[in-house]
Amino acid sequence: MFDSTNEVGEYTYTEKLLNYNTYIGNIDVFWDVLDTPNRFILYNSTGGTVYDTGWKGIAAYSGPWGGSLSTSTYGTDTISVSSDTYSLSVLTSAQSGNSDNWIFEVTCLSGGSNENTIVVASGACFVPGQTVIISHDASNYIVAKVVEYSGNSLTYFTLECHGSGSYSSWTVALSGPIGPIGQEGQSGTSGSSGTSGSSGTSGSSGSSGSSGTSGTGFTTVQNPALTRILTSDGTPDGAIAQSGLTYDFNTQTLSVSGKVQFDLATTATTSVGGLLWDDGNGTLSFGLKGGNVNLQIGEENVALCWNDDSITLTDGMVVYVSGSQGNRPKIKRALATSDQYSVTVLGVVTETIGVGQEGFVTTFGMVNNLNTLGLTGGTALWLSPTTSGAYTDVKPVAPNHTVLVGYVVRVSATVGSIFVHTSNGWEIEELHNVRISGVTEGDLLVYDAVNQLWVNSKTITSGLTISGDTKIIGDVYIDSSSGSSITTGTTIVSTIPCVSGSAAHFDYFVQGSSDEIRTGVVMAAWNCTGTTYTDYSTPDLNSSTDGISFEVDANSNNIRLKAVVTNGTWTIKVATRIIF
């Protein structure tokens, strides 16, 4: 078999199955990495490793093998197989621009491949389906089934191979191989006697014998008291009533004072309601209702739930709470497209749960026996936005929801595992110091100092500093200060602290009572004790605007723009641009 990929980085191919359910013997394997390094691993049906080449090939770059790699690029080995289905897992790690190709060949030894043809005598009585033994001698033979017999050609399917070597002469028979002549056996036993005659009538019963002596028991009990359990005091007939070990028959309560020590080397298995030490997980294991789930005490949390979905829920499905059924949460497959299907994500299903049935969901801890091929150990898993109940190693982006499901622990097609640790993402309005209402396009998030909240708004009510270039597309409306019905005299129109900058442009618009109009800009610079300024303006519209002019002065650390009116009544609008 062979395969190839253009994937960059660490990659695991889909497992290849090798079916040896009807074969016992040895197989020769030949592997060739061809270009990019590979690692070939053969697992049995229980997930145990029966063959591992380690990383093979040549690479000047770093990978799972370390900083570099230089080994043989091909090789052969002999492996024993026995009535089982095996899976081949092939790993690689390629750089960008490189592809990966590999070859893995298997040859059956001790009798050849599973199906072969040999020359036999014609006219025999072999029929398809018969079991035959093809033997060279008592130590070297093949157990096989007849596939086809025609003329002097016999095609057979190998069931068992015994011995080794290559031979040109074989004996094919429907019985076992011819063995050496055995020793002469002993004479057989004499034949059985003839049948007995009928029995006579029974005589009267005899008198009963005397009674036996009574058995012995505890003759002394130390510290006797109600409900205490007896233990031996080390003598043949003495006991101690233990004050720290009691059983109350009325309440069916066993009480232990002190430590309960479990057998750390037990080979027993957990049953429903049973508690024992689980050395593999390093904790106590308790058998839960239904007999399919064992709870590793202190390492995981589970919830008994009711399947509210339209399909059977199976191991590894991500579910959310959809309601309640009695004292059980209802669950359905979760999906990361909206709050409805994701905000109440509970965990991952850890046993098969039929529609309308109850079963366990892991809310924290390990879920085992999953297909995690294609994932990488330690990778974060997210709720899928495309497949209900699924997880993905690709983090969803808005508007999909980011719900962390857990992490990859073991990569395998059959015995993969993940660690469940759910964490739901949040919409911005769900934060405790954010109040969002009536959202429209273009809203900003601004801080309301009075209510100490972030709110959505299109208005910024305080000073704003922008660092860097600013590009504005669209109209800009500026209104720093304004005044109306300003008449003869001097009026302060705008005041800014002198320390706020070194210069300013006071953009202004003036309109008289007879609709005489002018706009301009007063450009000013200062040093907090004196100012210099110039007024640039447009020509007058409708009539003369000579009745109003502007001055800039420094006063008490403030820079003031003043309107000087000699005649008329005026409306003024000013926008201030400060230059740092």
What is the rounded distance in angstroms from the CA atom of residue 110 to the CA atom of residue 80?
11
Q: How far apart are CA 81 and CA 8, in angstroms?
A: 34
pLDDT given at position 213? 55
pLDDT beneath 70, residues of the chain: 22, 108-115, 129, 157-165, 175-217, 462-463, 474-480, 580
In degrees and rounded to multiples of 5, residue 499 shows phi and psi of -80, -5
Q: pLDDT tens for residues 498-538?
A: 887 889 999 999 999 999 999 999 999 998 888 999 999 99
Tell me how far apart the alpha carbons of residues 133 and 172 are, in angstroms, rounded to a whole number: 6
Contact (CB, 8 A) for 571 and 481: no
> What are the b/e assignments for 268-284, b being 16+ CB within 10 Å?
eebeeeebbbbeebeeb
Q: Which residue has the tokens 């093998």?
A: 65
Query: What pLDDT is stored for residue 476 in this prediction?
Result: 61
Answer whether 0.75 is exceeded by the pTM.
Answer: no
Q: How many CB atoms neighbour CB 134 within 10 A?
A: 21
* pLDDT value for 26: 81
Q: Which two tokens stand for residue 239?
A: 């006991």
Please give the Cα distance from 64 to 369 (Å, whole number). Answer: 25
Residue 537, pLDDT score: 95
Reference 455, options 431, 481, 419, 421; nearest CA is 431
Q: Which two tokens stand for residue 30?
A: 């030949």
Please say whether the beta carbons of 524 and 535 come within 8 A. Answer: no
Q: What DSSP string runs through 470-512?
A: ----S------EEEEEE-SEEEEEEEEEGGG-SEEEEEEEEEE
Burial level of 36, CB count in 10 A (0-12/13-18/19+)?
Answer: buried
Which domains, ranges and CATH numbers included, belong to the chain? 2-108 (2.60.120.380), 116-173 (no CATH), 223-250 (no CATH), 275-424 (no CATH), 481-579 (2.60.40.1680)
